[in-house]
Structure 1
Amino acid sequence: MYQQSYYRVNSWKQVLLLLQQSLYAEEMVCAMTSELFHIPKTKDLKGNSEMHNHLVPASYHRVTAVGSAQRLKNGEQQRSIVDTLVTCLINAENQDKKVRQGLQVMEENISPEFKTFISVSIKWQEQAESYLRQAKESLIAMGISFAAGNQ
């Protein structure tokens, strides 16, 4: 899966930073879209509940990836930590696709006064995905491989 001697001497700081930035953006998506449940005009917004069915596991996988990267940065070297990080990154990517679809449904169904609000939520989601992609690219540059079709 990876070149053990290479990753041991490599710094995990960049990967950790990118994953933390992805998680921060995800926090904003969660906070903003959850708020819509508490606004009378948007509490039943089409797509929001369905989108959250994917946002919750996407968040879990980001949290786990960040924790794994932190452990690796701190000097732990078990292959199982790297495997966990890679798997969570792939799982977050897969959930993100459904989150994006849900946000599109929400955007199509939200009243005009909330269009900017949902646009900002979508921008945060794009940031979360971009930082996740950059973390994956950093891992690949470190010699860590991902399953075919996931790169």
Structure 2
Amino acid sequence: MYPFYNYRVSNWEAVLSFLYHSLYAEEMVCAMSSELFHIPETKDLKGNNEMHSHLVPASYHRITAVGSSQRLTNGEQRQSIIDTLIACIINAETQDKKVREGLDTMAENAPTEYKSFMETIIIWQEQAEAYLNETKEALQSMGISVPSESEQYSSRGWS
């Protein structure tokens, strides 16, 4: 039997759809939080620089996961693509925790008139995280093990 038969008949489109939704929400977080650098009252908002130091790699990992998922949806079937997808999901989750901390700091320090704006950014971040979690659940329903972020990835796989 072909070694990737289960993956071939699985629904990669669902995985790709969840990742696209997560990436869209991430785009909104990026656009809105970056805008704060260009508003005089929030240009030096405490937590924004620190948050962006994690938002950038979180975005990179989401983009790479989407690309990997697109390749699988298009019929490529190498295990290395699946390993890349999983590693990027775990890495995005890890960065998301620090993004959330930065957003919380920003929300605490935002001028009153920007509190609701900050809440909207946080809601978008929650959506990005929720869709990433849906992605993991979809993979697990396909029989693909997704380790927790605390498990280490080595050059030979998850350990």
Q: Distance in 2 between matches of 1:111 and 1:147?
A: 40
Aligned pair in 2 of structure 1 residues 141, 150: CA closer, same or farther (>3 Å)?
farther
Task: Indicate if the aligned counterparts of 2:22 and 2:130 stay in contact, CA closer than 8 A.
Answer: yes
Name the % identity: 64
The offset of 1:71, in angstroms, is 0.3
For 1:90, the equivalent position in structure 2 comes to 90
Q: What amino acid is aligned across from residue 55 of structure 2 in structure 1?
A: L
Distance 1:32 1:148, change over 3 A: closer
- Scaled by the length of structure 1, what TM-score is found? 0.95
Q: TM-score, normalised by structure 2?
A: 0.90
Structural RMSD (CA)? 1.4
Q: Which residue of 1 aligns with 2:115?
A: 115
Q: Which residue number in structure 2 is paired with residue 103 of structure 1?
A: 103
Query: Letter of the aligned partner of 2:141 in structure 1?
Result: A
- Letter matched to residue 56 of structure 1: V
Which residue matches 1:64?
64
Answering whether residue 146 of structure 2 is matched by residue 146 of structure 1, we say yes
CA-CA distance at 1:146 after TM superposition: 2.1
What is the alpha-carbon distance in structure 1 between the residues aligned to residue 48 and residue 61 of structure 2?
20
Question: How many residue pairs are counted as aligned between the two chains?
Answer: 149
Q: Describe the shift of the 1:148–1:60 C-alpha distance in structure 2 as closer, same or farther (beyond 3 A).
A: closer
Secondary structure at the counterpart of residue 83 of structure 1: helix
Which structure 2 segments of 5+ residues have no match?
A: 152-159
The residue identity in structure 2 corresponding to 1:119 is: E
Per-residue deviation at 1:7? 1.2
For residues 3-33 of structure 1, the C-alpha deviation after alignment (integer angstroms, 9 at most, x for no partner) is: 8321121120000000000000000000000
Aligned to 1:37: 37
Q: Name the residue aligned to 1:135.
A: 135
Which residue identity is paired with 2:119? S
Q: After superposition, what is the alpha-carbon deviation per residue over 1:81-120, rounded to whole angstroms, capped at 9, x for unaligned? A: 0000000000000000000000000000001000000000
How many angstroms apart in 2 are the aligned matches of 1:38 and 1:48?
12
Greater percentage in helix: 1
1:122 and 1:148 map into 2 onto residues whose CA distance is 23
SS in 1 for 2:103: helix
Cα deviation for residue 148 of structure 1 reads 5.0
Residue of structure 2 equivalent to 1:19: 19
Q: Secondary structure at the match of 1:45?
A: coil
